[in-house]
Structure 1
Amino acid sequence: MRPSTLTLVLAIVLLSTGCLGVTPSTEPTRTETTQTTTATPTPTSTPTPTPNPPISDDEAKERALDHHETQTLDSIDHYDRYGVGHGSARVTNRTGSGVYVHFEQEYWYTSGDVEADRVTEATYFVNETTVRQVYR
């Protein structure tokens, strides 16, 4: 072996002996005292789950759309011909218990010689279990 390789191996062995907690046989043994401190755990607050988890904006708008379209069709299905257009929904407020969605939708109907084009709009409170129209 080369002298530099031998020196390197010897240094590694000596350093690893200290890391492993083995005291070299040439050093006198000494007594060490260790003081252990026990940390008191800090109490953490566990969040209280909400009874109805929040609903996403997209899901709230979809549920408002379904509800509004059903109500609109129920109010015009007695005409000779009728239909509804695409609705436009936007979230206007979010609370811990649900989402407020404002919805607008075009519809049309024909009865005899009368033809009409209208727009209906409403605001709904939506959560996981409820879709309720809000009157302001």
Structure 2
Amino acid sequence: MWCLFVLFVSASGCAGPNGDVSDETATDRALAAEEEYIETRLEGAACVDGWGFEDYGGWGETATALNRSDGGVYVAVRHPFWYSTVELDADIGTEATYLVTADDARRVGGTEVSPC
């Protein structure tokens, strides 16, 4: 019984023997990468007075594993955020696709964040 438990634990980790990423790990990493993408764009925007990840517009935060290819998992992500400038207050979100591998979460397309 102990051998089966050890086998189960090792099989449910982040990566399998051939480097595959589980759907759960891939979606978690894609959401984290999208947060970093949004944060980088808003922190670097001179016109932005404030911003955050709260969902005031009803976008919802979701991540769905789409398919496996290229040694990884393609993940569709929706992530809410808001920002304010002198001219406007925006409650919006992004939609993006990530390719998540054992070593990387790469944004392969999606909504551009450029508030200025």
Q: What TM-score bracket applies, with the shorter chain setting the length?
A: 0.5 to 0.7
Aligned-residue identity in percent: 34
Question: Gaps (5+ residues) in structure 2?
Answer: 1-16, 55-59, 111-116
Q: Which one-letter code corresponds to 2:107 in the other structure?
A: Q
1:56 has 2:22 as partner:
yes
1:123 has 2:97 as partner:
yes
1:76 has 2:37 as partner:
no
Distance 1:124 1:107 in 2: 18
Q: Which one-letter code corresponds to 2:24 in the other structure?
A: D
Question: Gaps (5+ residues) in structure 1?
Answer: 1-48
Quickly say closer, same or farther: Cα 1:116–1:127, change in 2 above 3 A: same
- Could you state the TM-score of these two structures normalised by the residue count of structure 2? 0.66
State the secondary structure of the residue aligned to 1:64: helix
Q: CA deviation at 1:95?
A: 3.1
Aligned pairs, number = 86
Residues 103 and 123 in structure 1, CA contact (< 8 A), matched pair in contact too = yes
Quickly say closer, same or farther: Cα 1:114–1:64, change in 2 above 3 A: same
Distance 1:96 1:76 in 2: 31
Deviations along 1:79-123, one digit per CA (max 9) or x if unpaired, are 111011462100011236110000011111111241111111100
Distance 1:130 1:97 in 2: 11
State the secondary structure of the residue aligned to 2:106: strand
Which entry has the higher C-alpha Rg, 1 or 2?
1
Q: Which one-letter code corresponds to 2:20 in the other structure?
A: P
Distance 2:108 2:69 in 1: 14
Distance 1:135 1:115 in 2: 25
